[in-house]
Structure 1
Amino acid sequence: MFKFFKRVSTVVSSELNAMLDKAEDPVKMLDQFMRDMESDIQEVESAVAKQIANEKMLKRKADDAQAKVEKRHKQAEQAIEAGNDDLAKRALENKVEQEKQAELLQESWEQANKDSNVLRDKLDEMKKEYQQMKLKKDSLQARAESAKTRTKMNRTMSAIGSDESKKGFERMEEKVLQYEAEADTSEDLTHEGRSLDEEFDKLNNDHGEIDDELAELKKKIGKE
């Protein structure tokens, strides 16, 4: 891959591992690779545009030279019909020169046309490869983000399950149990104090009822 890109060679697992070993961010590095590829594509697009412009210029000059060849040929015929052999000879001499120039321009255009086709094919392949690597970059970035998230979660879970955390929970549990025990003891003391008072109140009430009943009974039998 990247056989057409001068700044980026390959993006494979070994390179990702190397990035991680160097504490480089794979997501940022992949974005940089894509920017480099985009820059290379832009350079090739510029070269293709210049080559096409040069090709068109050569084609126009070759066509113009060929048109002059045909023009001089007709002029030579016209001069011969007019009986002006000297003029016809001059036209034929210029025709020969134009033929040589047209031939050279045609060869140059054909070569330029081949070069343009090569650059077009190269550009098309670069763009296809860029799209493939863009998809791969998106996949690798998603995997990198997923790995980061899993690592963060694992570290969090590890911290939650650590001995220090467990000891902290145990201490808090002991405090809660202590609070509960203190609350129960306070309730028991309150209940005991309240029960003792209630017994004395009951005793006093019982004695009062007995005294009243005794007085009533004495009254009935005339002992009072």
Structure 2
Amino acid sequence: MSDKQSIFGRISQLLRANINALIDQAEDPEKMIDQLIRDFSSNIREAESAIAQTIGNLRMLEDDHREDLRAAQEWGGKALAASAKADEFRSAGNTVDADKFDNLAKVAISRQLDAENEARAAEPQITSQTEIVEKLKSGLDNMKLKLQQLTSKRNELAARAKTADAQVQVNNALQSINVLDPTSDLGRFEDKVRRQEALARGQQELAASSIDAQFNQLEDLGQLTEVEARLAALKQGGASRPAIDDGR
């Protein structure tokens, strides 16, 4: 029985080792889960074979125990029959045959005791192995349940693994961005645009200033022309002198 327990223990250790190795080395989550399901199924088959053999050994012990009990009962019946026969011969005064059957009864009783001892010695082992078999069955049922859960959640786990991998890649990409001033380039571009706008306003003001100067020149020229005209009028006889009102 201990051999079967160790086999089951090695299967469990192998299963855990396979899971850990697959998780650590996985590059494709979906393939990893498929491989995990295959390995899990293989380990369950190995466990089923080991447990089946353990159950078979237990059933053999139970069969032997029943045979010992049957043999003890049978030898007990033979001992009783031989003793009764010996009593008949002794009652008839035939001591020789009486002693002969008494000896046969003793042999039957001895065989009965041997069978009872064998049956009694097997009972603790049967009890122990029965408990172990029940534990192994429970462990196997739990493994099958885990396999069903893993199979049913295969797509979900694969999707989650891919999402997590994508998030890691995004985080790695974000780390390469200048997190101190992510708008520094935009700020420099905005400053350049403002300088261009300022230049355009300066050019407009300069152009407007030039036009105003030209109009001022025209106004100055008109004023000089008026002065010349009035001077010419004075020289022609004061035609342009204003009349003096003497109050009369």
Which residue number in structure 2 is paired with residue 52 of structure 1? 62
- Deviation by residue 1:115-147 (Cα, 9 ceiling, x = unmatched): 322222221121112122222333344555433
1:105 to 110, 115, 118: 115
- Kindly report which structure 2 residues correspond to 1:1-224, keeping only aligned pairs within 5 A, or say none: 5-10=8-13, 16-23=19-26, 25-142=35-152, 145-152=155-162
Kindly report the root-mean-square deviation, in angstroms, between the aligned alpha carbons of the 2 structures: 3.2
**Sequence identity percentage:** 18
State how far apart, in whole Å, the 2-side matches of 1:44 and 1:124 are: 11
Residue identity in the other structure for 1:21: D
Aligned residues: 160
Give the TM-score normalised by the residue count of structure 2: 0.54
- Deviation by residue 1:169-211 (Cα, 9 ceiling, x = unmatched): xxxxxxxxxxxxxxxxxxxxxxxxxxxxxxxxxxxxxxxxxxx
Report the secondary structure of 1:83's partner residue: coil
Structure 1 portions without partners, runs of 5+: 164-224
Deviates more, 1:143-152 or 1:99-108: 143-152
State how far apart, in whole Å, the 2-side matches of 1:69 and 1:114 are: 28
Residue identity in the other structure for 1:123: V
- Deviation by residue 1:26-84 (Cα, 9 ceiling, x = unmatched): 12111112111111121112112222222222222111111111111111111111111
Give the TM-score normalised by the residue count of structure 1: 0.59
The answer as to whether partners of 1:3 and 1:9 remain within 8 angstroms in 2 is no
The structure number with the bigger radius of gyration is 2
The answer as to whether partners of 1:26 and 1:141 remain within 8 angstroms in 2 is no
| Shift in Å, 1:10 | 3.8
State how far apart, in whole Å, the 1-side matches of 2:154 and 2:14 are: 14
Which residue number in structure 2 is paired with residue 206 of structure 1? none
Residue identity in the other structure for 1:102: Q
Flag the 1:40–1:117 CA change in 2: closer, same or farther, 3 A.
same
Flag the 1:59–1:129 CA change in 2: closer, same or farther, 3 A.
same
